[in-house]
Amino acid sequence: KMAEKQEEPSNTQNGEPDNAEEGEGKKKKKVKREDLPPFEIVTGERLPAIFFKFQFRNVEYSSGRNKTFLCYVIETQGKESVTSRGYLEDEHAAAHAEIAFFNTILPKCESSLRYNITWYVSSSPCVTCAERITETLRKNKNLHLTIMVGRLFMWEEPEMQAALKKMKSAGCKLRIMKPQDFEYVWQNFVEQEEGEEAKAFVPWEDIHENFQYYEEKLAEIL
């Protein structure tokens, strides 16, 4: 199944997001995940525009937006630099996207290499994922992580605030996505209709106000 996906990265049939999980999906994934080669999983795929427009919207009340979409860029610096990119969503990984990233995309860090990783995520991590990020960064000093988030998740909760502060102290850079960051994701990670000119990114009405709102909240927390 994964191999097929590799050969046709422009999955445009409408059912794709759902049918990827049907039937054998859940059970097999857990068993098989470990023996899949890293980077093969979602590299080269782009997320459907409708998902982007809904999930990445930096609204204040995010009802129904309970999935995490994580687009990543990994620059690995060794003798030569290698850049890879792709996206993960919760459903395909039987775990939150952040944890799935460390389990499947980057299961181990070679100590001789330096990793500069940028995530573009629809919302900031939950407490458990934040703890995993903190722990991974503390263990791997050669791993540098910048997380660009569309919105803050449960930021009023003291436990959440403490988890975000710990991430920061472990060296994680947490930033709120600006309108141009959304545009970057649109251009680099979102499916464009085949045969058409790439559609320009159309910012939603309150994109800038919401960015400023979340940026203030994050500054207060950190």
pLDDT of residue 55: 62
The CA-CA-CA angle for residues 85, 61, 95, to 5°, reads 40
Is 60 exceeded by the pLDDT of residue 213? yes
CA distance 189 to 138: 29
pLDDT number for residue 221: 96
CA distance 19 to 158: 38
Cα 111 to Cα 106: distance, rounded to the nearest angstrom? 13
Of residues 185, 196, 216, 25, the one with CA closest to residue 119: 185
How many C-beta atoms surround the C-beta of residue 221 within 10 A?
Answer: 17
pLDDT at 191: 83
**Catalytic-labelled residue, pool 34, 98, 156, 220:** 98
Output the pLDDT for position 18: 41
pLDDT at 196: 59
Q: How many residues does the chain have?
A: 222
pLDDT bucket at 217, cuts 50 / 70 / 90: very high
**In this predicted model, which residue has the larger pLDDT, 133 or 108?**
133
Task: Please tell me the distance from the alpha carbon of residue 121 to that of residue 184, in angstroms, as a whole number.
Answer: 12
Q: Active-site residue 98, yes or no?
A: yes
**More confident: 60 or 211:** 211
pLDDT band per the 50, 70, 90 thresholds, residue 24:
very low
CA 97/CA 88 separation, integer angstroms: 6
What integer is the mean pLDDT of 71-99? 85
CA 37 to each of CA 106, 195, 205: distance values in angstroms, whole numbers, following the listed order: 10, 32, 42
Q: Which residue segments constitute the domains of the chain, with CATH numbers given?
A: 42-191+201-221 (3.40.140.10)
Number of Cβ within 10 Å of residue 53's Cβ equals 13
pLDDT of residue 61: 53
Residue 41 has pLDDT above 50, yes or no: no
What would the pLDDT profile of 110-148 be if each residue is shown by its tens digit?
A: 999 999 999 999 889 999 999 999 999 999 999 999 999
Instruction: Give the alpha-carbon dihedral of 152, 165, 128, 67, to 10 degrees.
Output: 20
DSSP category for residue 95 = S
d(CA 123, CA 70) in angstroms, rounded, equals: 9
Mean per-residue pLDDT of the chain: 77
Work out the number of other CB atoms within 10 angstroms of the CB of residue 59.
15
